[in-house]
Amino acid sequence: MNHHPGAWGQPLPAHAQFDMFNPGQSYRQAPKAAPITHTQQPLVTGTSVLGIKYEGGVMLAADNLASYGSLARFRDIQRLHPLGKQTVIAASGDMSDFQWLKKELDSILREENGLSLTDSHPSLSPQHIYDFLANLFYARRSKMNPLWNAMLVGGWDNKKNESFLGFVDLLGTTYSAPTLATGYGAHIATPLLREAYEDKAGIDGKGPLLTAEEAEKVLADCMKVLFYRDARSINKYQTATVTSEGVKISDSKSVETEWGFAESLRGYGAQNQ
Amino acid sequence: MSSIGTGYDLSVSTYSPDGRLFQVEYANKAVEAAGVAIGLKCTDGVILATERLLHSKLLVKGANRRIQSVDDHIGMATAGLLADGKHLGSRAREEAGSFRENYNDPITVQILADRLSGYTQAYTCYGSVRPFGISTLVAGVDKTGPRLFCIEPSGVHYGYRATAAGKGKALAKTELEKLLGAREGGIGVKEGVDEVARIIHLVHDDNKDKDFELEMTWVCEASGWKHAAVPQELLVEAERKARAALEEGMEED
Amino acid sequence: MALFDQRPAYAHEPTVAPIEHRFSPYSDNGGTILAIAGADFAVIAGDTRQSEGYSIQTRYARKVWQLTDNATLATNGFAADGKNFVKRVKQRLEWYEHAHHKPMGLKAIARMIQTMLYGRRFFPYYVYNILGGIEEDGTGAVYSFDPVGSYEREACRAAGAAQSLVQPFLDNQIYFKNQTPAPGAEAFVPGRLPMATVLGLVVDSFTSATERHIEVGDGLEMYVVMKEGRQTTDLTDEGQLPAGMKVEELGSMGEGRGEKTFLVSMPLKRD
């Protein structure tokens, strides 16, 4: 009988000879070294998410589409997720990774919330959640097993009484700015968002910020341009606001679009030649 | 104590000849030394309360709380060794968390009480461990409605409409019986808060016992069906009424 | 038939390779850093733009980090690695202080950075580091590193996107390359320039790099570390620095010998 723990419950194969003088040298062969392969590729994906700071808060926007390649597969997916009363995250990239992340963060927040009853410690601030995400994304990329997302974290810091907006992606890259956008939006929406922001606040950001209405308007404009130009987008999106009052996630909405011009485009409308 | 010196009280893995486990009985003694804990199941929620005895005047207000949150919708109060309560609390949170992970649904109070009682019972089976020196009231509102359980050091658990554990539990239970006996259809949480406060003040002996802080939590519509502390202003008002009722009672005597 | 035993390599290759999405754990976030040592001071500078490809991710991201009273570190390359590397360096410095009840000296930090970088020789931090500060003998010093830990002490070093633009300029101005002393004049000695001259060179380096390199711009942060007892008036006095500069004295980080660190910042062009 081989008493080595590795052999418990394993019957001897018929041909095996047990070496009773070397019980440690199990008859079982050393496992064949196979390289650990993690790296996946995103399957069901969400496109850009946008964020902007405004007077008294921060506003995020994301459309409701989760694509399967070029197929508009799921058209009623929420990509904004509240975490407690002062933080919202918005995800582009792989939706299954985002789903897993939501579950993970919800369970951490639930535990923190439960413990806060007994030891009355303050709840996790947007900065805490952002740093956690940055550490997680960087650790996963360092294991060559990334979470395939680019995320925005928006929040309101009740202690400092100021808004928070941060970016983190699958490489663990992090940065902050008064306006942020991921993916295609980084190219198309960022210039529009920066222009709107700086027109009022100035390039040093010291002037007055946009009002909530103005912020919502500029986000709607950006979502419209993205819908025109981004083939992985849909004209149905939600916005989230975080203020000292808490988190609000809007119902789905859409923007007015005009496709009449397309009739005159060769390859789109009726062909006249 | 007939058990002392017989040698049958040294380990939970040894019965006494008449079939008792003395270590478990000693654990119950630890519970009886603690300030009372009360659970009350209402028509529209549940209430947990403890009489937190202050062993020192230097303690920070609100320190060493005896009621813990287990999940969004469940709380637990312990009577006995505080550290044992903390341990069982973290075990309860693990159970609730793993239930959510596995079944994507909040755990019911019944299942949680069942699992905690199984855990508690395991500590009455081995010579290498000692039983928990606590009785635990587990209360919450789940898809089956308001629920209240009490787990004893032996590992048994019973469901209750109202119960108490700790010093003066007999008196508290009598009061609870009177309370619910007088109300056919049960009691609402708003009124329940006042009654529970009154009973804790009644059970407390100002002359013999140390000073105490009243600790009370609930799960009801007002708390968004989450386990949360009863708002301070309600608690203050409940305690004011409790003192007034007691003084009235004394005058009658 | 031996000829056909082994088919030529091209026969095995599929005509159309499947599109593979292999994950690359690195990125290049642009920007430039620079450090110059003086006799009793050091300047460590970096721009504040962070970019990826043609996109500016943010106009303010820190690349220069004060480590101790007498050491400041600039990082350039992959920003996520840079941030996490600095985090680990700071943690090691804290542990050192707990163990030895004094801050780590500059040359010790430099050696520690080498071992930390080389420790990741086979999955490197994609970061170019430049460490500047005051040596234990009171001299201003600059150490530069490659991503896997090769390092040396120098009088000056530029790294990052505009290294190839800035370093030749520094070679000429700091090391006096391609300059000849006037007949009978004293020989050139690198690392002895006055602070005002050095700061002027740093500003010129960055304004020029901003003009010619798309990844450089937005803002400039210059950390000036000064030996204890050195006059700080040439920074703090009005009119000593070019207009539009903000000077901030950074508080002492521990029980040093009285070295002082200043943060001098100014805007750069944003286009």
Minimal C-alpha gap between A151 and chain C (Å): 13
Q: Do B68 and A118 touch (CB under 8 A)?
A: yes
- Option in A141, A177, A186 nearest C25 (CB): A141
Per CB-CB distance under 8 Å, the chain C contacts of A173 are: 27, 29, 52, 57, 78-80
* Residue B34 structural domain: 19-252
The CATH code of domain A44-245 reads 3.60.20.10
| Residue C8 banded pLDDT, cuts 50, 70, 90 | low
Q: Among B60, B69, B70, which would you mutate to test the A interface (most chain A Cβ atoms within 10 Å of its Cβ)?
A: B69
Neighbours of B62 (CB within 10 A): 12
Minimal C-alpha gap between B241 and chain A (Å): 25
Token output for A109: 């927040």
Query: Which residues touch B172 (CB under 8 Å, ≥6 apart)?
Result: B36, B38, B164, B199, B200, B202, B203
What is the pLDDT at residue B7?
85
Residue B12 pLDDT > 70, yes or no? yes
User: Is C5 contained in some domain?
Assistant: no
| Residue C156 banded pLDDT, cuts 50, 70, 90 | very high
Q: Do C123 and A186 touch (CB under 8 A)?
A: no
The pTM for the full model equals 0.86
Per CB-CB distance under 8 Å, the chain C contacts of A203 are: 270
Active site residue A174: no
User: Is C56 contained in some domain?
Assistant: yes
What does the alpha-carbon distance between residue A184 and residue A177 come to, in Å, rounded to a whole number?
17
The domains of chain A are located at 44-245
* Residue C65 structural domain: 28-267
Q: Total domain count for chain B? A: 1
pLDDT digits (tens, 9 = 90+) for C131-146: 999 999 999 999 999 9
- Option in C29, C55, C58 nearest A187 (CB): C55
pLDDT digits (tens, 9 = 90+) for A48-107: 999 999 999 999 999 999 999 999 999 999 999 999 999 999 999 999 999 999 999 999
What does the alpha-carbon distance between residue A164 and residue B24 come to, in Å, rounded to a whole number?
54
User: Is C144 contained in some domain?
Assistant: yes
DSSP assignment of chain A: ----GGGTTPPPPTT----TT-TTS-SSPPPP-----------EEE--EEEEEETTEEEEEEES-EEETTEEEESS---EEEETTTEEEEEEEEHHHHHHHHHHHHHHHHHHHHHHHHH-PPPPPHHHHHHHHHHHHHHHHHTT----EEEEEEEEETTTTEEEEEEEETT--EEE-SEEE-THHHHHHHHHHHHHHHHHH-TTS-SPPPPHHHHHHHHHHHHHHHHHH-TT--S-EEEEEEETTEEEEPPPB------GGGGGSTTTS----
Q: Total domain count for chain C? A: 1
Per CB-CB distance under 8 Å, the chain C contacts of A41 are: 21
Query: Which CATH number belongs to the domain containing residue C65 in this structure?
Result: 3.60.20.10
Q: Do A117 and B67 touch (CB under 8 A)?
A: yes
User: Is C245 contained in some domain?
Assistant: yes
ipTM surpasses 0.85: yes
Query: Which CATH number belongs to the domain containing residue B39 in this structure?
Result: 3.60.20.10
Touching chains B and C? (3+ Cβ pairs < 8 A):
no
pLDDT digits (tens, 9 = 90+) for A149-184: 999 999 999 999 999 999 999 999 999 999 999 999
User: Is B25 contained in some domain?
Assistant: yes
Instruction: Identify the helix (H) or strand (E) that includes residue B95.
Output: helix B82-103
User: Is C70 contained in some domain?
Assistant: yes
Most confident of A27-36, A261-270, C11-20: A261-270
Percentage of chain B lying above the pLDDT 90 cut:
87
User: Is B144 contained in some domain?
Assistant: yes
